[in-house]
Amino acid sequence: MADMVDDAIMESQNVKEEESSTYREPFYNMVQALQQPLYDGCSAHSELSTAVRLLNIKSDYNIPQNCFNEIVQIMKEMYPPNNCVPNSYGQTKKVVKDLSNDVVQIDCWQIGCMLFFKEDANLNACKFCGHSR
């Protein structure tokens, strides 16, 4: 019986260590991106701060992805070699991916009378106006 308890404790500790390492790696990646200067001698911006600001500007002004890619390309060319300016929108998102929460898509009825969310997620028609989804 004592061996079973010891095995259960060891298994529980192993699971906790695996869960901990799952959360640790993204955190260390963020710290590294935060400490990585944009280029040698730059103390004002890090790889992470630049990525966050670029994505914020893209969102605020509804900049298309192709335009965003052109902007980061010219930035990359303007800064000294071996800079950390991302090459594209996709690479920029990778830098900040550990900061964001999971995205959940929520369907909405086109005239806005209901969200197909939580207990209503599997409905095939609007429960207010009766139109099909």
| Same domain, residue pair 95 and 109 | no
Give the DSSP H or E segment for 108. Answer: strand 107-108
Average pLDDT over all residues of the chain: 81
| Same domain, residue pair 77 and 109 | no
Q: Are 34 and 48 in contact (CB under 8 A)?
A: yes
| Residue 18 scores a pLDDT above 80 | no
| Same domain, residue pair 55 and 120 | no
- Between 87 and 5, the higher pLDDT residue: 87
| Same domain, residue pair 72 and 111 | no
| Same domain, residue pair 28 and 14 | yes
| Residue 5 scores a pLDDT above 50 | no
Per the structure, how many domains does the chain have?
2
21: tokens are 């390492």
pLDDT tens column, 88-101: 999 999 888 877 66
Q: For the whole prediction, is pTM greater than 0.75? A: no
Domain that holds residue 77: 2-99
| Same domain, residue pair 88 and 123 | no
